[in-house]
Structure 1
């Protein structure tokens, strides 16, 4: 007898066929239709992948430590000046853009998104009083928040304050706004006329190239102090005067 290899035998068992002797033929009954194999070349049935799930973020906002909201709009009637938010889920394109404007390098982007929703929940004049003197980074945070809440009731006020902050930051970068310390004229700060407001124990000094005083002044208390820094000055020293701003 010819021996059938084990692999072929296993294949025949799994296929449900034991050889010609085990094959039984019967005609279909009147109620059983004949089954015909699909002709060669027939295209396979196309299977479509399941549709992708839309990005969804769940937000929780807490204002003044004991008021919790799921929507920033619900917080507006409270006129809160301090709110924070948390976000979980998958961001959509608008949320991703807001985070990029606020802090594109942030490693935890959902944490930034939650903070932006917290900014959106704040409202009222007291909430934005800090905006006129914010750093460029904070300007980006507020602009990112407005992408999320373009319908904010304080939007016009916020944009005006951001414009002031932008001008302030440009002048500071250009050496036209500065605080306390010693500054090289023409290098750290620009020559010109400046003023400081609401000073106490304010001392300033202009020096020459040998660091000797050209002029100085001490004011114990005043609403306004002025000084003119000349292009020929080597440095300007300020202590206790706060911030110097250019006279327009």
Structure 2
């Protein structure tokens, strides 16, 4: 009886075990998955992923610097025709003499009509819009600063401003709130603003036939009947006349000098004549 050497049997057993272990190591199937495999299931996962590109950080828009950082002032001083140059408003305000008629220079040299809006701060643009609402031009910021550099004259005297000057001074108060005479500027601006509103109201009454200057007017057609008041604090050389449909005079008067007075135009009147004065309708 031939005997198989023990070492050969052991070697065979080891080889068989290695084959089993190798097969197990290469089996990547799910032990619970008994169904058929698809190509996508058999494909190995990708080792790389597509990165989402990051959006570039937007560059912030710089806030415009104040125009004051780019201008200086050439001003008439001491009422003698001389001129001085001030590099800041504070220098002008500290000057002990009278300063009037200041011109603001922009950049290098006098460039009064070349200021881009981008050079204005939010406050400066607001001032321009306040002073010139119908035509806000960045160039006008230099004009407002020129007024702001003064310490006498326009906007600072007791003389009442016109309606258009009222708006300009209102912008000066916005652009130069630290002016040493800001109270006077605001007071003059408020008084002139009242005048501007009155002029607007007067123009509205003129268009509606409730304000008349020297001329002849048809009652009920061009102007309404009612109570009319002569305009002005002192009336001189004023003639008025009320007539009927036949041209007959109902009432009239010539006033050489008088305080303001009223005239009543009845509803049956046909004409109203005014010479040397003006009247405004105040009531029916």
- TM-score relative to the length of structure 2: 0.53
Q: Distance in 1 between matches of 2:64 and 2:135?
A: 20
Q: Does 1:106 align with 2:146?
A: no
Post-superposition offset of 1:237: 2.7
Q: Does 1:229 align with 2:241?
A: no
Taking structure 1 as reference, are residues 196 and 130 closer, same or farther at Cα in structure 2, changes over 3 Å only?
same
Q: Distance in 2 between matches of 1:173 and 1:42?
A: 67
Please list, as runs of the form range in 1=range in 2, the aligned pairs for 1:116-131 lying within 5 A after superposition. Answer: 116-124=144-152, 127-129=155-157
Taking structure 1 as reference, are residues 159 and 79 closer, same or farther at Cα in structure 2, changes over 3 Å only?
same
Q: 2:229 matched to which residue of 1?
A: 192
Provide, for residues 164-218 of structure 1, a one-character-per-residue CA deviation record: whole Å limited to 9, x for no partner: 223333334444999x95166967xx72365446x9xx52211224597812244
Provide, for residues 71-114 of structure 1, a one-character-per-residue CA deviation record: whole Å limited to 9, x for no partner: 2332223442332324445112111111111113426x222111
**Residue 60 (structure 1) aligned to one of 61, 65, 72:** 72
Specify the SS of the correspondent of 2:183: helix
Specify the SS of the correspondent of 1:166: helix
Taking structure 1 as reference, are residues 238 and 171 closer, same or farther at Cα in structure 2, changes over 3 Å only?
farther
Post-superposition offset of 1:118: 1.1
Please list, as runs of the form range in 1=range in 2, the aligned pairs for 1:75-90 lying within 5 A after superposition. Answer: 75-76=92-93, 77=95, 78-87=97-106, 88=115, 90=119
Q: Distance in 2 between matches of 1:105 and 1:111?
A: 14
Taking structure 1 as reference, are residues 172 and 100 closer, same or farther at Cα in structure 2, changes over 3 Å only?
closer
Q: Distance in 1 between matches of 2:248 and 2:188?
A: 40
**Residue 159 (structure 1) aligned to one of 172, 186, 192:** 186
Q: 2:167 matched to which residue of 1?
A: 140
Taking structure 1 as reference, are residues 235 and 150 closer, same or farther at Cα in structure 2, changes over 3 Å only?
farther
Post-superposition offset of 1:139: 1.6
Taking structure 1 as reference, are residues 151 and 244 closer, same or farther at Cα in structure 2, changes over 3 Å only?
farther
Structure 1 residues without counterparts, runs of 5 or longer: 1-38, 220-224
Q: 1:168 matched to which residue of 2?
A: 195
Provide, for residues 122-153 of structure 1, a one-character-per-residue CA deviation record: whole Å limited to 9, x for no partner: 22477533762411x32221111111111112
Q: Distance in 1 between matches of 2:120 and 2:51?
A: 43
Specify the SS of the correspondent of 1:104: coil
RMSD: 4.1
